[in-house]
Amino acid sequence: MFTVCTFILLCLAYILTYMYLKKKFQYWQDRNVAFVAPNMILGNLYSLLSLKRSPGHWLMDHYKRFGTNYFGLFAFTKPILVIKSPKIIKDILIKDFSYFDNRTATVSTHDKIMSNMLFTKQNPAWKKVRSKVTPLFSSGKLRLMFTPILAQAEHMVRNVRLLVSCQESIEIKEICTKYSTNVIAKCAFSVDARTFENDKAEFREIGRCLFDSRLENRLRFFAARFLPSLVKSFNIFLVRPTVSETLRNIFTTIFDVRKKSRKSKDNDLIDILLRIEDYHKDDKDFGAESLLGAAVNFFAAGFETVATTMAFVLYELCIAPEIQTKLRDEIASNVEKNRGLVYENMNEMKYLDMVVCETLRKYPVLPFLDRMCNSAYKIPNTDLVVEQGTVVYVPLFGLHYDEIYFPNPEKFIPERFEHKCEINNDGLYYLPFGEGPRNCIGTRFGLMTLKIGIIQMLLNFELKLSANTPIPLIYDPKAIIVSSKVGLPMKVLPLN
């Protein structure tokens, strides 16, 4: 009798679960939106969860299946709307930003540092903090940063010369990471990171911990993106709690040391944050945790985005020696004409800008942009109403590799950006830094750091393929941001 009752109950549970899931997965069909048929358990996340595809390529695979302006996916049972139309993307990111003013990553309130980063902070607190730190990237501040950035680039060159004197090939991503770490430590925190002198330097170690491609980090990122209830229920941190505590200790020490020596104004990020703290003592949005979060945000975003892009620039130049030579000639001509590298003349190097833009097209650091709809929104000229709480994705890899906008997208062609002003004229399809009010706040600082690093490398070295340089590139499916699975080794030969 017990066996029969148990069997009946199990069958009933199965039927009810099936009916529940079937109803959930009819969401896009009920709204006449084309969608990818989901797995009854994982939705459309199988290839992502099984580490068969990187996040960017997972979304691009689905992007290629539809000729519509948008399509639907499911993260487990949660609907996601993926936008393909550049015009609709422009509406969501800029014109109708007030409907989509927050990102979707869920961070535990117990994760005090990560929940206070600008990247994860919710509006209106996000807007208040961003408006106060924006002055760090004014034209005047960038001009002041030029000299210390150049000094760090020259320091990188000296260390690369030592390295290549005893090695046939070097891992270029690690070189770029050490350079960008030194720059952000110096310019934002007035600290000498000394990553070239000490491979286990404090700033380099926390950088490794933040962007380590180990499975645990991928799962934490995955939970923040797709399992908000799990994050809240079990207080899952975006990074390991030990890493979070290390970050707290490092940056608290930096703040404390600066507070004791306020006689000198460094006019860096820490100085700006301390002034904010002084002026807004009673505002919880500018409390100690918020300032720590802002500091960590600038460090994490500042070093990794520059390092990744710079490494891929050098990788593409290594593969295409004719492009490398053309760019080196432009740089050398500019430096000779101006008797050195000068801040005011950086924008004269048009081909350098084209090379950087094309690299950012092929290798957007983030795989997609994400927004959360905060109130019902009717997409213009359609019948679709995006409901409150719906997640919206802008698929950067899909757009950047779409032949409609970039013919022969797998090929590295800097000349695509010869007439840069014509890009994104009729909607948004090239978005390496995002767009609208929540775009990357440090874009100009990042580009200046990136270009100075490239300039110094090309003035001093020739880049050549080694036996281990990966062609074609193998993407790391475990990495949170775009990365090579096998690194980026290459020969670096000193020039006279």
Half-sphere exposure for 483 (CA within 13 Å, toward CB)? 19
Going from the C-alpha of 94 to that of each of 197, 396, 441, the distances in angstroms are 44, 16, 15
What is the rounded CA–CA span in Å between residue 479 and residue 482?
7
What is the rounded CA–CA span in Å between residue 121 and residue 101?
11
What is the rounded CA–CA span in Å between residue 202 and residue 185?
11
Rg (CA), the chain: 24
CB atoms inside a 10 Å sphere around CB 196: 21
| Angle subtended at Cα 180 by Cα 357 and Cα 221, rounded to the nearest 5 degrees | 80
- Which H or E element spans position 443? helix 443-460
Q: Does the annotation flag 440 for ligand binding?
A: yes
What is the rounded CA–CA span in Å between residue 133 and residue 443?
14
What is the rounded CA–CA span in Å between residue 196 and residue 156?
8
Instruction: List CB contacts of 1: < 8 A, sequence separation 6 or more.
Output: none
**Binding site: residue ranges?**
440
**Binding site for heme: residue ranges?**
440
